[in-house]
Amino acid sequence: MKKIVIILGIILNANHSFAQSSDNIISSNKRLNVTIIGTSHNGNKRITDDSLFNILYKINPDIVFEEIGPSGFHTPFYMKLGLLFGIGHYEIEYLAFKKLKQANVKFQLLPYDIEIKRRFNYIKQYSRNDKAITNAVNVSYRSNKLNNFEKQQIIKCVTPENYVTKRINDSALFCLNQKDVTDSTRKFYYLFKTEMLPLMDSNDSFKGVREIAKKTAEFWEERNKKMAENILNHMKKFEEKKTIIIVCGQHHKYYLEDLLKPQQEKYNFKLYDYWQLSKE
């Protein structure tokens, strides 16, 4: 549920807990070195295919997990036509991986997302649902249909999401992958599930979107769990030491971290921040 509720310009004023050390940490044993890079699929002025490529190149991975389904990346004809005339653009990951291959980096690209039929149509519908939920929350907040406690619930939920959205729109990849951003994303989804969904169920102001919000939240959890499962199924096949990068939309990073961290011993890998694995 990307950018689900943006309301009244509420932005969390928090200090970045930037990494204090850029020391490289390359494991000397046979453990897999793994990092998760949260990114913005559409990029911004600081997050581009070049900036992502530079990070990937410095790490020099053996394996890159890509947020696509098992059947791979397929560009619909209408999108290809639009790109031909300068309308639309590829996701920055697609372009960065292409440049990595052109730089003769020998790596294996593996899909880990679930299979979504007619993926581009799904993305369009997802965006429409997102806007509908956002609009319903904003309209309800500004009306007299909510009491003060309910309004405070909304503010509590949207504050961390507004903070994350600002980072996605304005920050470089280093800032976007700091712990405070990941923690804020985790907090938003937790509050959306535990406070916003019950509020929508109990207040008729959200009658038109409550089922959409509930199904979106359920699918979000199902999708992230399957992503982590797919990654682990691949990892158990790797017997020798490898460097692995998992590239995902920033909103997935917290979920993948939470599901993968407890499995480090069982699957013989260690999670690092991406700058710890740079070979330069």
Q: CB neighbours of 277 closer than 8 A, spacing ≥ 6?
A: 24, 25, 26, 33, 35, 59, 243
pLDDT at 248 exceeding the cut of 80: yes
pLDDT class for 70, splitting at 50, 70, 90? Answer: low
Give the pLDDT confidence of 142-199 residue by residue, as tens digits: 988 899 999 999 999 999 999 999 999 999 999 999 999 999 999 999 999 999 999 9
Please state which of the ranges 5-19, 48-62, 204-218 shows the lowest mean pLDDT: 5-19
Within a 10 A sphere around the Cβ of 117, how many other Cβ atoms? 8
Give the per-residue pLDDT at 89. 63
Give the per-residue pLDDT at 143. 87
Q: 204 or 114, which is more confident?
A: 204
pLDDT at 15 exceeding the cut of 50: no
User: Model pTM?
Assistant: 0.84
pLDDT class for 27, splitting at 50, 70, 90? Answer: very low
pLDDT at 5 exceeding the cut of 50: no
| Exposed/middle/buried for residue 162 (C-beta within 10 Å: 0-12, 13-18, 19+) | buried
CB 247, CB 64: distance < 8 Å: yes
Any idea which residue has 């199924």 for tokens?
A: 233
pLDDT at 263 exceeding the cut of 60: yes
Residue 252 identity:
H
Mean pLDDT over the full length of the chain: 84
Please state which of the ranges 84-88, 125-129, 218-222, 234-238 shows the lowest mean pLDDT: 84-88
Q: 19 or 239, which is more confident?
A: 239
When pLDDT is averaged across residues 111-128 and rounded to a whole number, the result is: 81
pLDDT at 20 exceeding the cut of 50: no
Query: Rounded CA gap, 249 and 253, in Å?
Result: 7
